[in-house]
Amino acid sequence: MSLRRPEPLGQVSDFDIRLLRIFRSVVECGGFSAAESVLGIGRSAISQQMSDLEQRLGLRLCQRGRAGFALTEEGREVYQSSMQLLAAMETFRTEVNGLHQNLRGELNIGLTDNLVTLPHMRITHALSRLKERGPDVQINIRMTPPSEVEQGVLDGRLHVGVVPQTAALSGLEYQPLYDERSLLYCAVGHPLFYVDDTQLSDERLNQQDAIAPTFRLPAENQAHYQALHCTASASDREGMAFLILTGRYIGYLPDHYASFWVQQGRLRALKPGSRFYDLSLSTVTRKGRRPNLVLESFLEALASTG
């Protein structure tokens, strides 16, 4: 398709906004075919809409064909800018609705993986109360690494996040939410699974193949991994669970997350009296944020669950 760069983009119309929303869905679904069910329109219609957007912007946004779907460099830039634009529009809508004291709009929340198994369920209860108070509120949850949650809150794509408390970033406010304990586990099939802890020396334990996290942790928690023989890595706790369950690695998991496999007899904690660390999880919001009735209502509900 031949693109002619137009004059500088003038007023952004409702038509442009609609095209950008479709573009966002295509990107998040990973292609035209996967976006069909989300958008409720056919692939040919989606393709035409993307062509219209590319013509409107004078930019090629994506490659599509037999090789699959992929964003161009310009496409990535337009996607990030469109996310900020759509978030700003939703913020405006939420603030105007707040003038009427009506809970309408969106709550965009970013979570670290595998918090749903925490027994206290504070996030779940707070979301339930928010939905009870504002039935028209749209809740959007994104499961992403902690660094991406913090960046999303900073740039306005997320209203609030829940992350492990490490080094606080300037521009963000942190409020303690949970404390969780992680234990060192091995699975059925691992040489240490049936070894009694009294017969298990630290030297032998530290010689086993282990998994290191690539996500940020406080220095005192990182020390637990530095003592191990880490020959694999994972970007999240689910990835660590996959590797531990092979029976070839040992690794740390939150006890609430591992309990399902422990009850099945598939995992066991190794020397739980000494091989553990505690991690604090906090809510994170942007400093100096504008009033947002939906967000404030969620934070109030969250505080009341403590």
Tens-place pLDDT, residues 126-175:
999 999 988 889 999 988 888 888 999 998 999 999 888 877 888 999 99
Say what the pLDDT of residue 117 is: 60
Q: Please check whether residues 115 and 203 belong to one and the same domain.
A: no
What span, in angstroms and rounded, lies between the C-alpha atoms of 52 and 206? 59
Q: Please check whether residues 293 and 229 belong to one and the same domain.
A: no
What span, in angstroms and rounded, lies between the C-alpha atoms of 3 and 42? 24
Contact between 50 and 26 (Cβ < 8 Å): yes
Tens-place pLDDT, residues 201-211:
999 999 999 99
**CB neighbourhood size of 206 (10 A):** 12
Model confidence at 185, pLDDT cuts 50, 70, 90, reads: very high
Q: Please check whether residues 158 and 290 belong to one and the same domain.
A: yes
What span, in angstroms and rounded, lies between the C-alpha atoms of 34 and 25? 9
Mean pLDDT of 49-77: 85
Q: Please check whether residues 197 and 262 belong to one and the same domain.
A: yes
List the one residue out of 289, 294, 292 whose CA is nearest residue 104: 294
Q: How many domains does the chain have?
A: 3
Say what the pLDDT of residue 201 is: 94
Confidence check: pLDDT of 2 > 60: no
Q: Please check whether residues 193 and 221 belong to one and the same domain.
A: yes
Whether 184 maps to a domain, the answer reads yes
The domain of 246 spans: 179-280
Q: Please check whether residues 288 and 166 belong to one and the same domain.
A: yes
Amino acid identity of 91? Answer: T
CATH number of domain containing 74: 1.10.10.10
Q: What are the DSSP calls for 145-211, one per residue?
A: -HHHHHHHHHTTS-SEEEEE--SPPTTEEEEEEEEEEEEEEEETTSTTTTS-GGG--HHHHHTSEEE
| Range with the largest mean pLDDT of 66-70, 113-117, 293-297 | 293-297
| Residue 76 DSSP code | H
- CA dihedral 183→189→192→197, nearest 10 degrees, is 60
Whether 18 maps to a domain, the answer reads yes
Say what the pLDDT of residue 129 is: 92
Confidence check: pLDDT of 94 > 80: no
CATH number of domain containing 121: 3.40.190.10
Phi, psi (deg, nearest 5) at residue 214:
-100, -5
CATH number of domain containing 193: 3.40.190.290
Say what the pLDDT of residue 166 is: 78
Say what the pLDDT of residue 225 is: 93
Confidence check: pLDDT of 25 > 60: yes
Domain boundary among 35, 55, 82: 82
Whether 7 maps to a domain, the answer reads no
Whether 3 maps to a domain, the answer reads no
Whether 65 maps to a domain, the answer reads yes
**Percentage above 90 pLDDT, the chain:** 44
